[in-house]
Every structure is written in C-alpha cells, then in structure tokens.
Structure 1
Amino acid sequence: MNSSDVKLPPRDAIDVWAQQPNERFMAQPWLETLLRWGGLPREAPRLEQTLAAMDAGGVGTALLSGWHGPTGVLISNDEVAACVAAAPDRFCGVCSVDVRDPVAAVREIRHRVEEQGFVAVRVVPWLWDLPPDDRRYYPVYVACVELGVPFCTQIGHTGPLCPSEPGRPIPYLDRVLLDFPELVVVGGHVGYPWVDEVISLATKYPNFHVDTSAYTAHRLPPPFVEWMRGRGRRRVLFGSNWPMIAPVRCREGLGELGLDDEATELFLSSNARRIFRLP
C-alpha cells in the first residue's frame, strides 16, 4: 500500500495549541520530563512532519505559538510568521512576548496582529514563574482587549520540572477576569488538579474558555467531561500540544465521552472558529 491509498480522517478539527519547535526550543532542559514520558527525541520536527501529523489527526488548521521566556526567545514570532506564510491555509500565528518589557511587548503584539494577522497572544506562567495577575502581564491584557484577540495561557500543574502554582486558576485568573471583563482568556491543558476551580471560573466569567491540549480524550477528568456534555459545550476547545503529543492521539477515546453531535462539533472546531475569529 502506498501513501495515496491511506485513508485519512476529514480535516474537521482546529488545533489551538501547537508549536513548530526549533533546535533551541528542543534543547531546553525543562523538556526532559515531557520527552521521557512521550518517548520523544530531542530533534525538532520538520514542517512537513507537522503537516503530516495534522492530516493523520484530522486537523485542518493549527495555531502555532511563539515562545518567549526569561532566558530569551525560544521560538520567535518571525519563525511562526514564516511557517504561516509557508502554509497559510493550514496555520495561524500566536504571538509571544517578553512581559518584562511592556512597551516593546505591546508594540510587538500590535505589529503581529495588525500587520501579520496573528490571532492571539500566549504567555506561559510556569516558564516565567509569574502568576497571571502579576502587574507585568497587565499591558499585554490591555493590548489584547484593544486588538480584539484572546490571551492564551496555561492552567493546571506543569509537566516540566517547574513550579505549578502559577497555573492555579483561583485566585490568579479570578483576579485577572475581574479586572478585565472584556478580555477573552483561553486556559490550556485542562487545569488539573484544579478542575473544579476551572469549571467555577467558566461559570462565573463568560469570556473564560479552556482547551484540552496535552490530554488524550480518554484521560480527561470525568467532571470536566460531564461539563463538556452540558453547560461547558461552548467553552471547551480542542488542542494537542504538538509535537509533545500528536493530534491523532489526543482524539483517542473521543467517541466514548458521550458528547452529542453538536458538542463534538463545537469542541473540535466551532468554538475555536468563534473565539479566534477564524474564517
């Protein structure tokens, strides 16, 4: 059987958390636990491998994120823009910034959103060891509100050997959502072990959403799945965290969650299309 004989699933999903890493990113020592758990090599995947993984997992569009941390740029926004330019029908850009330089951060966000069509901004709290209510984030939030793009972040414990406390939803995100009622926030990685806090925040704040990146469907916590079936159906988005986990693995067990057709379609694509204003 050759590759043209392989039947791939329809590209019905939007992956809201993915990276196209470089060797600099893959060399980070804090990746050791994730690579060990997944049995992954240190080599960065080629763009062709990312597209093939998307096809195998039924992903039509992936949101590729830049990465910026205290040690500097890990995946630059220029590198993300180049990937989007190489496959504009498959990728959208997510901007990353240095929260310690607020003026430059705001300028960078404006440039990427207004001139290059980036659809969101992501800052990972555990990488900075700064919870999201730290004052250094606030100019970023203002820029997101003014430009009408979501702020994406990580919630829950960390896989890397870094403190998990910055990913705790309450009180940190609670304060942010109170201070910025217009800010659209997408919390990545489900939020375990604070799932009850995640659901309570989503109930309290209409602009707070959650993505399931870094989880296969069959590993999602039961209270989270129950929420997805009902009141949370318009608040949960599909994500993979590629290349740490492939989209096809993230969809394993999806049919066993008891989601109806509407909830499944909202989860895989419509929620992301609405929240990130995708065509």
Structure 2
Amino acid sequence: MTVYLPAIDLDAISAIDMHTHVHASVKAPAPEPDEDRAAMAKYFRTGKAPSETLPDLAAHYRERGIAAVTFTVDQGPSKPEPTLTNDEIVEQAALHNDIVIPFASVHPDRGEDGARTMERLIIDGGVRGFKFHPNGQHFYPNDRKAYALYEVLNAHRVPALFHTGQSGAGAGAPGGGGYRLKYSNPLYLDDVAVDFPDMPIVLAHPSFPWQEEALAVAVHKPQVYIDLSGWSPKYFPPVLVQYANTLLRDKVLFGSDFPLITPDRWLADLEKTDIRDEVKPGLLKDNAVRLLGL
C-alpha cells in the first residue's frame, strides 16, 4: 500500500488543524445528501451538505498555510462497504504530504481483524492517529470490545481521537439520526487513560454537557489532550477558557471541524475570546507538533 511520509515545513505553516473531515471519494461522484449530512449542514448553517474530497481539503488548507489532520469515520461491519476508505485517505495524503496528516478509523466491532488493520495502517501506511465516534459507532469508550484496538495504539504510542459531548451529526433529525449521546461522556475515557497510559488521547470538542468532566480527565491524566473543534470559540464556556489559559495551556489543540466550520471562521472567532496571546502559539501549532511527533 501507499506509505505516508510527512513533508510539512513547520516554519512555513501558521497552525495545525487537528480535526477535519473528508466526506467524498476521488474515485466516485460526490454522495447524494442523506438525512444525516443534510441535518449537519442545517445545524452548522453551511447551506449545503459536505462533499469534500481530500484534494479539495488540501487545496483549501495549502492556500492558508495551515496543516490539517483529516479522517473519515468507519460505520462498522454491519454497514455497506464505504466508497471512501482508510487506504484512500493514506493514498491521497501521501500526494499532499506537505499539508495533510492522515488519521484512520476502525470500528470496535471489527475486533481482532480491526486490530490487524490498524497495525497495517500504522506500519505499512504511516497513519498518524485514529478517530473514534462513540455516539455514532454505538460503544462506550471503556467497553472491553475496543481494547484490542487500543492495545495496538498503546504499543505504537499512536494517538486516539474521540468525539465527546453533544453531536452536530444527527442534530435535528428524527431520533437524532440514531446518534446516542450517552456514549460520548468523556469520563468513560478516564478508564481508557488508566489502562493504556502510552496511548495519547484527544478529547474532541468542547464536551457539552460534560465540560468539567473533560477538564478533570485532561488535568489528571498526562497523556490526555483536548481539541477545540466543532464550536466557534466565541461560544466556549468560561471554565474551558480558564483552563486553556492555565493548567491545560500545553494540552489544548486547534481544531475546526472543517468543512462544517472553516479555519477562517474559527481563527477569526478566536480573537473574540479571552484566550491569552501567549497561549496561542501552543494552542495553534506547538502542542500538536509535540503530540504528533513532527
């Protein structure tokens, strides 16, 4: 398979966006908007359902001098095989390795087969991390069925990024589009951090309504970070801003949730917050450089 080798000039970029999505394959037409994607577009007020390919994303970020971590989400073995695969993410990221950093996604229901896939993607593909979406993939992060996957990440010291808190996906759709918010309480990740101390963990998004739980886990467990994606910074709760400025200044990460929130909007709204200027270099780039081993 294609091997991703990063070629990012850290002096030439102003930031690293730790949380972007690819929604379409370069090998097939853009997918028709489904209920879930249409609901996300309405929730984030983008006006259209997301349909970006990885080259689209790379062009957007290259214009801005910002590197981007990107991924898709594995819906699991009970769903039809997706057109957009982890292997395509790696293949396309290798073609855009000056600006893109590939993460992959493996559903915990894939068990030992999933663990072998992760091993292959790390060793043979150069994948730099893995995305989990508990309330969409329907599992508690501390469920033992996921531990075979975490063993691989722990052994390789590769980051695991977990959606936490309320989800824009499914918001406003009947039944929330099947997304179950109970799975995304960040406190479940405290168990994971104890059991896998060499696996860096990123709590994605301000974790509404469990923000203080997320802060407690990140303060207590040295390998736990928080990415600030999925919300405009002007809506960050004061307690999150307080911790970003103080105890967690070395563990907060810029993330937009592109294409649902663009880096332009996120960075403009950052200036409307009380996050201190001396904290911003770490938040925007330096913390991610250290986490990703760049």
Question: TM above 0.5, one fold?
Answer: yes
TM-score normalised over the length of structure 2: 0.84
Q: Distance in 2 between matches of 1:25 and 1:273?
A: 34
Query: Number of aligned pairs?
Result: 267
- Contact persistence 2:154–2:198 (CA under 8 A): yes
1:121 is aligned to 130
Q: Which runs of 5+ in 1 are unaligned?
A: 1-9
Matches within 5 A, 1:29-178: 29-37=35-43, 38-42=45-49, 44-55=51-62, 58-70=64-76, 71-74=79-82, 75-159=84-168, 160=170, 161=176, 162-170=179-187, 172-178=188-194
What amino acid is the match of 1:53? H
What amino acid is the match of 2:118? I
- Contact persistence 2:41–2:49 (CA under 8 A): yes
Q: Distance in 2 between matches of 1:110 and 1:25?
A: 30
User: CA RMSD for the aligned pairs?
Assistant: 2.0
Match 1:197 to one of 213, 228, 234: 213
Q: Distance in 2 between matches of 1:125 and 1:26?
A: 25
Structure 1 residues 106 and 24: alpha-carbon distance in aligned structure 2, compared to 1, 3 A threshold:
farther
Q: Which runs of 5+ in 2 are unaligned?
A: 1-11, 171-175
Q: Distance in 1 between matches of 2:238 and 2:23?
A: 32
Question: Could you tell which deviates more after superposition, 81-90 or 231-240?
Answer: 81-90
Please report how far the alpha carbon of residue 73 of structure 1 lies from its aligned counterpart in structure 2 after TM superposition: 4.7
Q: Distance in 2 between matches of 1:146 and 1:45?
A: 33
Secondary structure of 2:16 counterpart: strand
Q: Distance in 1 between matches of 2:30 and 2:70?
A: 16
Q: Say whether 1:20 aligns with 2:43.
A: no
- Contact persistence 1:61–1:92 (CA under 8 A): yes
Q: Distance in 1 between matches of 2:55 and 2:144?
A: 40
1:185 is aligned to 201
- Contact persistence 1:155–1:167 (CA under 8 A): yes
Q: Distance in 1 between matches of 2:228 and 2:107?
A: 25
- Contact persistence 2:157–2:198 (CA under 8 A): no
Question: Could you tell which deviates more after superposition, 177-186 or 44-53?
Answer: 44-53
- Contact persistence 2:102–2:127 (CA under 8 A): yes
Sequence identity (%): 24
Please report how far the alpha carbon of residue 255 of structure 1 lies from its aligned counterpart in structure 2 after TM superposition: 2.3
- Contact persistence 2:38–2:49 (CA under 8 A): no
- Contact persistence 2:37–2:49 (CA under 8 A): no
Please report how far the alpha carbon of residue 84 of structure 1 lies from its aligned counterpart in structure 2 after TM superposition: 0.5
